[in-house]
Amino acid sequence: AQTVTQSQPEMSVQEAETVTLSCTYDTSENNYYLFWYKQPPSRQMILVIRQEAYKQQNATENRFSVNFQKAAKSFSLKISDSQLGDTAMYFCAFMKTGTYKYIFGTGTRLKVLA
Amino acid sequence: GAVVSQHPSWVICKSGTSVKIECRSLDFQATTMFWYRQFPKQSLMLMATSNEGSKATYEQGVEKDKFLINHASLTLSTLTVTSAHPEDSSFYICSARVPGLAVSTDTQYFGPGTRLTVL
């Protein structure tokens, strides 16, 4: 069975600074996807970034980038130039290719301070 | 982008009654929808996979007879919590899969969730 672990329940960062959220996972699968989702106070889940496991290049989406270490089963999210609107709960998720089922971590609550 | 709606957004019911929650894909057809449950300050747990025109597939530990899922059309899936009890109080979220030309372009869109409170 796959597991996803987020060891930081809460984090805070000053506006315009950079913050890194950690995520580790455990799987025996070789083909899978990893995701970071954001859940703001509205509770609407929003996709932040996606990484295909077969790709060595780290995914980036504007201010968001990941550090994907497949051998270490690590998938951290870096948010650059943090904005107040980034305040939210962030979930790391695993999906075995072909299943379309997400396994979510426990989440990290990020607060961006003015 | 694709939009998924849920109705109602918030419902309160008495213990022993049944509650139906709707999940709709507004501008696309979703052959597959997923239902999740989220307890306060916790993660999302997959309950079941809903496929249009066939029976839902439930995750281990989820009671099929308690959480009835019907995927009647390509844009609508419903979750009915039967004989609800206070322990069923939770936030229920659906997602809909938009198949891509390649697996790498597959995307899931989430609904805004439904808060169920059972008194």
Please give the Cα distance from A67 to A79 (Å, whole number): 11
The pLDDT score that the predictor gives to residue B117 is: 96
The pLDDT score that the predictor gives to residue B101 is: 60
Q: Cβ of A98 and B42 within 8 Å?
A: no
Task: Please spell the DSSP secondary structure of chain A, one letter per residue.
Answer: --EEE---SEEEEETT--EEE--EEE-S-SSEEEEEEEE-TT---EEEEEEETT--SPPEETTEEEEEETTTTEEEEEE-S--GGG-EEEEEEEEETTT---EE---EEEEEE-
B107-119 pLDDT, tens digit each: 788 999 999 999 9
pLDDT at B27 over 90: no
Q: Is the dihedral of CA A109, B1, B7, B9 positive or negative?
A: positive
Amino acid B11 reads V
Q: Does A56 touch chain B (CB under 8 A)?
A: no
Count how many Cα atoms sit within 13 Å of the Cα of residue B24 in the half-sphere of its side chain.
Answer: 8
pLDDT at B103 over 80: no
The pLDDT score that the predictor gives to residue B104 is: 60
pLDDT at B16 over 90: yes
What residue in A sits closest to B112 (Cα-Cα)? A44
Gap from A31 CA to chain B (nearest CA, Å): 11
Q: Cβ of B43 and A105 within 8 Å?
A: yes
Question: For each successive 10 residues of chain A (114 residues), what is the average pLDDT?
Answer: 92 98 95 94 90 92 96 97 97 90 94 96
Q: Cβ of A45 and B32 within 8 Å?
A: no
Mutation target to probe the B interface, by most B beta carbons within 10 A, among A52, A96, A100 is A100
